[in-house]
Structure 1
Amino acid sequence: MLIRLAWRNLWRQKRRTLLTAAALALALALSLFMRSLQEGTYSNNIDNAARFATGLVQIQHPEYQESQGIDDLVPKSADFIAPARALPSVSHLLPRLESFALAAGEQRSKGALVMAGVPSLENDYAKLGEKLVAGEFLEDDDNQVLVGEGLAQFLELAIGDEIVLYGQGYRGQTAAGLYRIKGLLRFPVPGLDNQLVYLPLPLAQQLYSTGDLISAWVLHTHTLAQLSDTEQQLKALYPDQAVRDWQDLAPEMAQQILMDKAGGLFMMYLLYGVVGFGLFATLLMMTLERQREFAVMLATGMLRGRLLALVMIESLFIAALGVAMGLLLATPVLLYLAHNPIQMTGDAAQMMLELGWDPILPALVDPGLFLDQIGIVLALLALCLLYPLWRIHRLELVSALKGGAHAR
């Protein structure tokens, strides 16, 4: 009875009902657009940055985070990595060996970051070959190296020249080698471009005398949403090793995303605040206009609790209508943007291309994101209903029936 009565009451004032629902729908749609684009951009940037540098997760020696040393390594063996490889959420597994060395040409020398991996895997994962500006890319069993363009210019070296690497190897052994330069890499990050020397993994293991040991296993998941569960599974599978995610490996980027997300949430709540005032005014007006109606219903025997329930059901119908309208407006657009991201142009696009990232703004279509926004709409409605319900609860029958006085 209450549900049928509430539904009929809504359409006694069709314009007011539709305007209130439209306000909720607009707020929901705009917040979904903003949050989906924001989260989609974060996911895209995190994925790009992970492929460019750290990966989403790394398995390291427990002391490697503090020491960054060539002595704190993990096995490269198939038996060691087999449990991680069996996880269905893992899309890429790459062994890497990183250390430092003194790089020298005929006349000059400079400290260099030595990075080693399996060239074919790195090219598939990070598109390393696309950063090649001169020469040829490496084979997996190559005995030549790639050098950052900035470092090569400083050392006055070119394709075909030889570069000397000298440093400390595993367990205090001397690491020294003479290698021919096969190609030059150009990175948008000067700190990397000016100091990187890239070697095939077997060649680096020979240089540093590490045997079948590496600095870390780099892992990537199919989607960012799988990262948290995958990290927990890896920690259970490798209790004696350090499992570090991208936030731990790149804390600066994590802080930037957190600050930007806080700004986006502030704008979203500001939007809901504006809509909330309009919704509150509408609900209050609806309550004041119907005081005589409510008084008649109470005078004819309707319990005050059932009257309050009737008003709440009417408000829920308006909220449901607003949510449905908002979802119908936002979902098709977001699905389209998820498969056809917004293409950036101009200087912003050029900057992203130089970083090796796709100049796009993708939308993230996540059920959890939709449920969060619907929950906020319902919470906003509940907050706006508090005062109108209190006015109905305090309604005086005599004053309301006379039509002029207000409830205390």
Structure 2
Amino acid sequence: MLMKLAWRNLWRQKRRTLLTAAALALALALSLFMRSIQEGSYANNIDNAARFATGLVQIQHPGFQQSQSIDDLVPMADAFIAPVQTLPEVSHLLPRLESFALAAGDQRSKGALVMAGIPSLENGYAKLEERLVAGDFLDDDDAQVLLGEGLAQFLELNVGDEVVLYGQGYRGQTAAGLYRIKGLLRFPVPQLDSQLVYLPLPLAQGLFSTGDQISAWVMHTHQLSQLPALESKLHALYPDHAVLDWQALAPEMAQQILMDRAGGLFMMYLLYGVVGFGLFATLLMMTLERQREFAVMLATGLLRGRLLLLVMIESLFIAALGLMMGLAIAVPVLLYLAAHPIQLTGQTAHMMQELGWDPILPALVAPWLFINQIGIVLMLLLLCLLYPLWRILRLELVSALKGGAHGG
């Protein structure tokens, strides 16, 4: 009975009901657009940055993150990594060896970051071959190396020249080798471009005398949302090793995303605040205009608790109408943007490409985003209802009836 009465009451003032629902719908749609594109951009950038450098998650020796020492390694043996190969979340699995060495040409030398992997796997994962600006890409069994373009320019070397690598190998052994340069890579990050020497993994293991050991196993998931589940499984499978995700491996990027997300949330809550004031005014007006009606209902025997419930049901109907209108606007647009991301052009697109990112603004369509926004709308409604409900709870019948009669 209360449901029918609440529904009829709403349409006594059709314009007010529709305007209030439309305000909620607009707030929901705008917040969904903003959050979906924001989170979609984060997911896309995280994916690109992970492929470009660290991967989404790594298995390392417990001390390697701090020491970066060639002595803190993990096995490359099939028996060690076999449990990971059965995990459904893993889309890419790559062994990598990283260390430091002195790189020298005929006249100049410089400290270099030596990174080694299996070229065919790395190219399929990070598209390294697209970074070539001179020469050819490596084969898996190559005895040649690739240099960052900035490092090659500093050492005054080019494709076909030879570079000397000299450093410390495993357990204090001397690491020294002379290698022909097969190609030059260009990276948008200056520090990497001016320091990187890339080797096939077997060649690097011979240089540093590591045997069948590597610095880390690098993994990627099919979807970013699968990362927490993968981390949990890896912690259980490798309790004696360090399992580090992209946030631990690239804390600067994680901090940047955190700050940008905070700014987006502030704008979203500001939007809801503006809508909330309008909603509060509408609900309060509905309450004050109907004081005589409420007094008559209470005088004829309606319990005050039932009257409060009636007002809450009316407000929920308005919220439900606003939510349906907002979702009807937002969902088709977001689904389209998820399948056809916004393509950036001009200087902005060029800058993103230089950073190794796709010049697009994809939309993330995830259930948790919709649940969060719907929850915020309902919480906003509850906050706006508190004062009108308090007024009804403190309503005095005699004064309300006299006020209504005088006003009529």
Bin of the TM-score, shorter chain as denominator length? over 0.9
Three-state SS of the structure 1 residue aligned to 2:279 is helix
Give the Cα separation in 2 of the matches to 1:190 and 1:8.
Answer: 67
Segments of 5+ residues of structure 1 without an aligned counterpart are none
Query: Per-residue deviation at 1:403?
Result: 2.8
Distance across 2 between alignment mates of 1:203 and 1:282 = 73
- Whichever residue aligns with residue 402 of structure 2, its letter is K
Give the aligned partner of residue 245 of structure 1.
Answer: 245
* In structure 2, C-alpha distance between the alignment counterparts of 1:310 and 1:67, rounded to whole Å: 66
Task: Output the amino acid matched with 2:60.
Answer: Q
AA aligned opposite 1:396: E
Q: Which residue of 1 aligns with 2:146?
A: 146
The alpha-carbon deviation at position 404 of structure 1 amounts to: 4.9
Cα distance in 2 for partners of 1:86, 1:177 equals 38
Where do residues 211-290 of structure 1 align in structure 2 (5 Å cutoff)? 211-290=211-290
Distance 1:188 1:43 in 2: 20
Q: CA deviation at 1:195?
A: 1.0
Counterpart in the other structure of 2:127: 127
Q: Is the 8 A contact 2:54 2:246 kept in 1?
A: yes
Mark the CA change 1:304 to 1:177 in structure 2 (over 3 Å): closer, same or farther. same
Task: State how far apart, in whole Å, the 2-side matches of 1:14 and 1:78 are.
Answer: 70
Q: Deviations over 1:208-261 (max 9, x none)?
A: 110100000000011111111111110110001000001000111111111111
Question: How far, CA to CA, are the matches of 2:173 and 2:58 in structure 1?
Answer: 26
5 Å-filtered alignment, 1:168-247, equals 168-247=168-247
Distance 1:187 1:304 in 2: 71
- Confirm whether residue 71 of structure 1 aligns to residue 75 of structure 2: no
> Who is 1:315 aligned against?
315
Verify the 8 A CA contact 2:292 2:404 in the aligned structure 1: no
1:58 is matched with which residue? Answer: 58
User: How far does residue 405 in structure 1 lie from its aligned partner after superposition?
Assistant: 9.2
Q: Distance in 2 between matches of 1:244 and 1:208?
A: 24
Aligned partner of residue 275 in structure 2, secondary structure: helix
**1:125 maps to amino acid:** Y
Structure 2 equivalent of residue 29 of structure 1: 29
- For 2:288, give the aligned amino acid: L
Contact 2:119 2:200 in 1 (8 A): yes
What is the CA–CA distance in structure 2 between the aligned matches of 1:213 and 1:31, rounded to whole Å?
49
CA contact (8 A) 1:115 1:197 kept: yes
Report what 2:297 is aligned to. Answer: 297
Structure 1 match to 2:398: 398
Aligned to 1:114: 114
CA contact (8 A) 2:291 2:404 kept: no
* In structure 2, C-alpha distance between the alignment counterparts of 1:252 and 1:181, rounded to whole Å: 32
Separation (CA, whole Å) in 2 of partners of 1:198 and 1:247: 24
Query: Cα deviations across residues 19-56 of structure 1 (Å, max 9, x unaligned)?
Result: 11011111111111111111111111111110100000
Shift of 1:397: 1.3
Aligned 8 A contact 1:57 1:243 in 2: yes
- Aligned with 2:183: secondary structure? strand
Task: Show CA shifts across 1:270-329 (max 9, x none).
Answer: 110000000000000011111111111111111111111101000010111111111001
Cα distance in 1 between the residues matched to 2:162 and 2:97 = 22
Which amino acid is 2:82 matched to? Answer: A
Whichever residue aligns with residue 42 of structure 1, its letter is Y
Q: Which runs of 4+ in 1 moved over 6 A?
A: none
Distance (whole Å) between structure 2 residues aligned to residue 11 and residue 259 of structure 1: 45
Partner of 1:363 in structure 2?
363
The code of the aligned residue for 1:91 comes to S
Alignment partner of 1:15: what SS? helix
Q: 3-state SS of the aligned residue for 1:248?
A: helix
3-state DSSP of counterpart to 1:297: helix
Alpha-carbon distance in 1 for matches of 2:103, 2:26: 60
| C-alpha distance in structure 2 between counterparts of 1:303 and 1:9, whole Å | 18
C-alpha deviations, 1:188-224, integer Å up to 9, x for none? 1111111111000000001011010000000001111
Secondary structure of the corresponding residue to residue 54 of structure 1: coil
Q: Does the aligned pair in 2 maintain the 1:399–1:405 contact within 8 Å?
A: no
Deviates more, 1:131-140 or 1:341-350: 341-350
User: So what's the TM-score if we normalise by structure 2?
Assistant: 0.98
Aligned residues: 406
CA contact 2:28–2:323 (8 Å) conserved in 1: yes
